[in-house]
């Protein structure tokens, strides 16, 4: 394993508030349905990504240690390569992924822990906690639009599962 990979692993296993981005949303759908939208290969590409973006999947293996390789395509046609490795999947309450560009030993890879909490009214609180290797990388992500794009992605997820639960 290259030196930067082990350094990255260490930085991603020690949580620090100055390196994280936290997004949360209440979705009007049961937890199992919201969770399934993250782990069902038929659904994930339909909603994932910011408003106006579409996804082209290269390969998808949603299981612990599996990967999803895909391009996010912006409205202007620009492609952003992505790779997610699924580190933990604990149905129906937690998913942990490493997310970065689709290249080996990406120095910008970040860890996201996604929790799914069902409220007594049947709605689901989804929380995404992104942990970046450094504060500088976290700040760069915020500058790039990680918060705005993250909330747009959660909006697309909400619309997708709310349509699914209505049918």
CA-CA distance, 64 to 5, in Å (whole number)?
A: 19
CA-CA distance, 114 to 22, in Å (whole number)?
A: 10
Inform me whether the pLDDT recorded for 30 exceeds 80.
Answer: yes
The domains of the chain, with CATH numbers, are 3-49+89-166 (3.30.530.20)
Mean of pLDDT values over 131-141: 95
Inform me whether the pLDDT recorded for 1 exceeds 50.
Answer: no
Question: What pLDDT is stored for residue 15 in this prediction?
Answer: 65
Mean of pLDDT values over 86-100: 98
Cα–Cα distance list, 41 to 38, 47, 69, 93, 155 (Å)? 8, 11, 12, 18, 19
CA-CA distance, 137 to 134, in Å (whole number)?
A: 5
What is the average pLDDT score of the chain? 92
Inform me whether the pLDDT recorded for 142 exceeds 80.
Answer: yes
Mean of pLDDT values over 116-141: 96
Q: Which is higher by pLDDT, 2 or 163?
A: 163
Question: In percent, how much of the chain has pLDDT > 90?
Answer: 86
């Amino acid at each position: 394993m290259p030196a930067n990979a082990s350094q990255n692993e260490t930085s991603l296993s020690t949580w620090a508030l100055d390196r994280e981005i936290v997004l949360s949303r209440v979705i009007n759908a049961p937890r199992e349905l919201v969770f399934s939208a993250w782990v069902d290969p038929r659904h994930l590409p339909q909603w994932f990504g910011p408003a106006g973006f579409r996804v082209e999947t290269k390969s998808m293996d949603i299981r612990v240690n599996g990967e999803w390789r895909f391009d996010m395509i912006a409205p202007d046609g620009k492609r952003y390569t992505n790779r997610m490795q699924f580190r933990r999947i604990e149905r129906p309450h937690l998913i942990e992924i490493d997310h970065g560009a689709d290249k080996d030993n990406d120095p910008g890879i970040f860890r996201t822990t996604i929790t799914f909490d069902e409220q007594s009214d049947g709605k689901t609180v989804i929380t995404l906690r992104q942990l970046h290797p450094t504060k500088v990388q976290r700040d760069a992500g915020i500058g790039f639009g990680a918060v705005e794009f993250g909330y747009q992605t959660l909006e697309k997820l909400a619309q997708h599962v709310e349509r699914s639960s209505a049918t």
